[in-house]
Amino acid sequence: MNVLDVDYMLQLVPVLLSYLPLTLEMAGAGMVLALILACLLAVIRVLAIPGLNALTLLFISFFRGTPLLVQLFLFYYGLPQLFSALTEINGITATILGLTLHFSAYMAESIRAAIVGVDRSQTEAALSIGMTNGQLMRRIVLPQATRIAVPTLMNYFIDMIKATSLAFTLGVTELMGATQKEAAGSFLYFEAFITVAVIYWGIVELLAWLQRRLEARFNEAYQR
Amino acid sequence: MIRVEGLIKRFQGNAVLSGIDLEIQQGEIIVVIGPSGTGKSTLLRCLNFLERPDAGRIRIGNLDVDAARPRKADILALRRATAFVFQNYALFANKTALENISEGLIVVNRWPKDKAYARGREILERIGLADKADAYPASLSGGQQQRVGIGRAMAAQAEVILFDEPTSSLDPEWVEEVLGLMKQLAEERQTMLVVTHEMAFARDVADRVIFMEGGRIVEQGPPSELFSAPRDPRTRDFLRKVLANQASLQS
């Protein structure tokens, strides 16, 4: 067995890190858009809006029920075949679209559960002092639902960051794509992939730390 | 003045309120007693539109609402005219004691924050919790939480405060401080409609006691009359059971 080429790995780190912004951009954009969509879907489910509710269930069922990779290929290779206007869809856009739709399906359910999980009597108390439904949501329910949802949403965000690596199958040179290219040039596959693995791991640990901070902050009101 | 006429509420076809007529004068303290499941809480919840009545008319001040066909604005106005104290306190868990009390002033009455908090602090003073302004509900005792719940209702400056069994889920050690605060409000002639099983409170504080059974008002009158000489056999029966129970506790 050959000895690990540590020098090569150290050289590789700054090269790979220069692709990190693209990875984080795709995950960041995907997360923001998925959150917005998921909130909409969750509210539709909570209020059981006729018609839209059924569509939402179908949406969630499809995007939870099929692999993300299949969905990405569908958007990148499949859609342009149907709609010629989409011929120009690039890999980055397709990835963000795929991440958004895929993860919003999961997140909608956890947001819905968080909204339903807020003590019902507080809703009545808010209505009893004359709050409108909108005020009730903004001031009482959503702040508390956020606290309940933070751990699961952060989990999805972590998952999404790692899922951006699939973009390389659409020809996007992000963190994973860059690693693949570097490894193909140097034939030092193990070094290249263990390096990128550690980079992903580091980002996720950073987020986990952030999550703990967030949870501690949200829990301040609940200390006895 | 508050006037309720022919209030009817059904749950899945079962009448829980079968035509309630009720008049409450300003500054009057009314206690509603009766067996469980006779619609006492439902009556309070209908006045606040936490339940939607099936029929009837509710008049509070200038407000006149056809309970079966209320407009959205009517419901909000009715809720603003009636404050509610819940059995399980129902404080906003994400807000401090001060914020719980001031929340309605800020959001519903659109007061500036500092004015609302100044009023909140006055109320905290009156309910004896000035030192707990920044405490969250989770860190307060049951009695303290219910006093904040009453403080929240006081802040609303409603025509009437509706108390729905305010001491029923309290540990016995906290009951007195909550009843004490309610007595204090009664002395200030805050109009109150109280559903409770605390017979001593009814006897000492109420101007009028209402006995309800089967979704109807069976009998009502000043506590001196109703407790010592109930006319209806159902009232007699209920009081005999309850008072025997409470006497056995005291001996």
Q: What is the pLDDT of residues B101-154, one digit of tens each?
A: 999 999 999 999 999 999 999 999 999 999 999 999 999 999 999 999 999 999
- What pLDDT score was predicted for residue A81? 83
The answer on pLDDT for A2 being more than 70 is no
Q: Could you tell me if residue B62 is inside a domain?
A: yes
Structure confidence at residue A206 (pLDDT): 95
Q: What is the pLDDT of residue A14?
A: 94
Give the residue with greater pLDDT, B251 vs B75. B75
Q: Is residue A188 part of a domain?
A: yes
pLDDT at position B177 is 94
Residue A104 located in a structural domain: yes
**CA angle, A11 as apex, A6 and A14 as ends, to 5°?**
130
Interchain contact, B104 vs A131, CB within 8 Å? yes
- CA nearest B108: which of A69, A131, A114? A131
Please check whether residue B201 lies inside any domain of the structure. Answer: yes
Which residues are registered as beta bridge partners of B59? Answer: B3, B64
User: Is A223 a domain residue?
Assistant: no
Residues 88-107 of B with CB under 8 A from A: 88, 90-96, 103-104, 107
**Is residue A224 pLDDT above 80, yes or no?**
no
* Number of domains forming the structure of chain A: 1
A contacts of B96 (beta carbons < 8 Å): 221
pTM comes to: 0.83
Mean pLDDT of the B230-242 span: 92
Q: Taking residues B82-98, report their average pLDDT.
A: 96
Residue in chain A nearest B78 by alpha carbon:
A130
How high is the pLDDT of residue B251?
57
CATH code, domain carrying A141:
1.10.3720.10
- Judge whether residue B249 has pLDDT over 70: no
**What three-state secondary structure class fits B22?**
strand
B83/A128 CB distance under 8 A: yes
Q: What separation in angstroms does the CA of B199 have from each of B116, B156, B247?
A: 36, 27, 11
pLDDT at A1 over 70: no
Question: With b meaning 16 or more CB within 10 Å and e meaning fewer, what string describes B186-224?
Answer: beeebbbbbbbbbbebbeebbbbbbbbbebbbbbbbebe
Distance of alpha carbon B121 from the chain centroid: 23
- pLDDT of B3 > 60? The answer is yes
Query: Residue B86's pLDDT is what?
Result: 97
Contacts of B95 in chain A (CB under 8 A): 221
The answer to whether A128 contacts chain B (CB < 8 Å) is yes
Distance, in Å, from the CA atom of B92 to the CA atom of A148, rounded to the nearest integer, reads 15
Residue with tokens 């059924």: A54
Query: Is there a domain that residue B105 lies in?
Result: no
Does B167 fall in a domain?
Answer: yes
| A214 CB-side CA count, 13 A | 16
pLDDT the model gives residue A219: 86
Percent of chain B with pLDDT over 90: 91
Instruction: Say if the Cβ atoms of B107 and A139 lie within 8 Å.
Output: yes
Give me the pLDDT at residue B22, please: 96
Q: Based on the structure, what is the number of domains in chain B?
A: 1
- Please indicate if any CB of chain A lies within 8 Å of the CB of B76: yes
Q: Which residues contact A11 (CB under 8 A, 6 or more apart)?
A: none
Q: Is residue A224 part of a domain?
A: no
Whether B112 is in a domain gets the answer no
Percent of chain A with pLDDT over 90: 79
Chains A, B: CB contacts under 8 A, how many? Answer: 75
Nearest chain B residue (CA) to A222: B138
Cβ of residue B157 closer than 8 Å to a chain A Cβ: no
Mean pLDDT of chain B: 94
- pLDDT of A205 strictly over 90: yes
Residue A161 CA to residue A171 CA, distance in Å, equals 17
Write the CATH number for B206: 3.40.50.300
Q: What are the pLDDT digits (tens) for A141-190? A: 999 998 999 999 999 999 999 999 999 999 999 999 999 999 999 999 99
- In this prediction, residue A100 has a pLDDT band, given cuts at 50, 70 and 90, of very high
Domain of A143 in residue numbering reads as 6-218
**pLDDT tier at B198, thresholds 50, 70, 90:** very high
Contact of A18 with chain B, judged by CB distance below 8 Å, is answered with no
User: In the prediction, which pLDDT does B250 show?
Assistant: 62
Domain membership flag for residue B180: yes
pLDDT of residue B167 exceeding 70, the answer is yes
How far away is chain A from the Cα of B192, in angstroms, using its nearest Cα?
15
A135 vs B107: CB contact, 8 Å cut-off?
yes
Residue A95, in any domain of the structure:
yes
Residue B201 DSSP one-character state: H
pLDDT tens-digit map of A106-117: 999 999 999 999
Residues of B in contact with A219 (CB under 8 A): none
**Backbone angles phi and psi of B136, in degrees to 5:** -85, 155
CB contact under 8 A, A135 and B108: yes
Give the pLDDT confidence of B16-45 residue by residue, as tens digits: 999 999 999 999 999 999 999 899 999 999
Q: Does B205 map to a domain?
A: yes
| Range(s) of the domain holding residue B236 | 2-90+159-250
